[in-house]
Amino acid sequence: MDLQQLCQSVTEIARSAGAFIKQEAATFDRSKIEMKGFNDLVSYVDKQAEAQLVNDLQKLLPEAGFITEEETATERGETYNWIIDPLDGTTNFTHGLLHFGVSIGLMEGDEMVLGVIYAPMQDECFYATKGNGAYLNDRQIKVSDAPALKDSLIATGFPYYDFSLTQQYLQVLGAFMATSHGVRRIGSAALDLAYVAAGRFEGFFEYNLNAWDVAAGAVIVQEAGGKLSKFTEGGDYVFGREIVASNGNIHSEMLQTIAQHWKKPQP
């Protein structure tokens, strides 16, 4: 399979879905928001964008299965699986905050091999394939070369439905606030990862994430020269519900900072 050629087609598919989302953003009616659970928002825009993505990706790679946020398609493939979030940052979208994106990852076996993240309001398309580098709108990108946490800007996400670990999280947050240039929470894990890859953030951490939040971004960070793990070294950060991404230089410091305060109960 020619991953680079496939990626070019996927970026076109992401841009098409993004164009639909951008069009709907201009006139979105908040009365059409649905609730999947407490603070778990969805809209017809998410659902229609996902249906469009599934339809287009099925034509592109018929043998691939799907892991999708809105469960438009649920059948898994034997070798290839698309992992997609049609609108990462739904809460931002529904409130008129223009920071959200389309996220498409391709997994071959147990390995992520392709990732595309498109931010339609900024017209920024981040993409990467295994072994071929990471790009933003045809320009190759690299992670920041900041050498230490004290030189870094960190991104994170806040808990929005499971608040059982809030106090521990706030301690971790406070530690990063005191040892870095600052912490940002902008509401889209996919774009947080893309920004690490592009050198805008030096690091990102979050828990209670799903595979579709991080799959595409993980490829892009790796191909931009970054490092990924769970809150401890290694682990399955795509399906493991927590992730740390960094420029590599500050990864150990990030893990040490988290470990000082994060005592998640073992199942």
pLDDT of residue 36: 55
Q: What is the C-alpha to C-alpha distance for residues 128 and 134, in angstroms, rounded to an integer?
A: 4
Residue 87 known to bind ligand: yes
For 264, the 3-state DSSP assignment is: coil
Residue 192 known to bind ligand: no
The enclosing H or E element of 200 equals none
Residue 88 known to bind ligand: yes
Q: For residue 75, give the DSSP letter.
A: P
| 31 pLDDT more than 80 | no
Q: For 149-259, CATH number?
A: 3.40.190.80
CA-based diameter of the chain, in Å?
Answer: 50
Domain boundaries, the chain: 3-141, 149-259
Task: Report pLDDT digits (tens) over 181-194.
Answer: 999 999 999 999 99
Q: Using pLDDT thresholds of 50, 70 and 90, give the confidence band for residue 73.
A: confident
| 28 pLDDT more than 90 | no
Tell me which range, 41-50, 195-204, 229-238, is most confidently predicted by mean pLDDT. 195-204
Joined tokens for residue 253: 């410091």
Query: What pTM does this model have?
Result: 0.93
DSSP per-residue string spanning 94-133? HTT----EEEEEEEETTEEEEEEEEETTTTEEEEEETTS-
5-9, 64-68, 162-166: which range is least confident on average? Answer: 162-166
The enclosing H or E element of 202 equals none
Mean pLDDT of 211-234: 96
pLDDT of residue 32: 67
28-42, 164-178, 186-200, 221-235: which range is least confident on average? Answer: 28-42
| 214 pLDDT more than 90 | yes
Tell me the percentage of the chain whose pLDDT exceeds 90. Answer: 79
Domain 3-141 bears CATH identifier 3.30.540.10? yes
Of 94 and 64, the structure prediction assigns the larger pLDDT to 64
Q: Using pLDDT thresholds of 50, 70 and 90, give the confidence band for residue 251.
A: very high
Joined tokens for residue 256: 């040490």
Cα dihedral across residues 241, 242, 246, 249: positive or negative: negative
Residue 236 known to bind ligand: no
Q: Considering only CA atoms, which of 216, 235, 213 is closest in space to residue 224?
A: 216
CA atoms within 13 A on the CB side of 10: 31
Tell me which range, 23-37, 125-139, 232-246, is most confidently predicted by mean pLDDT. 125-139
45-49, 156-160, 200-204: which range is least confident on average? Answer: 156-160
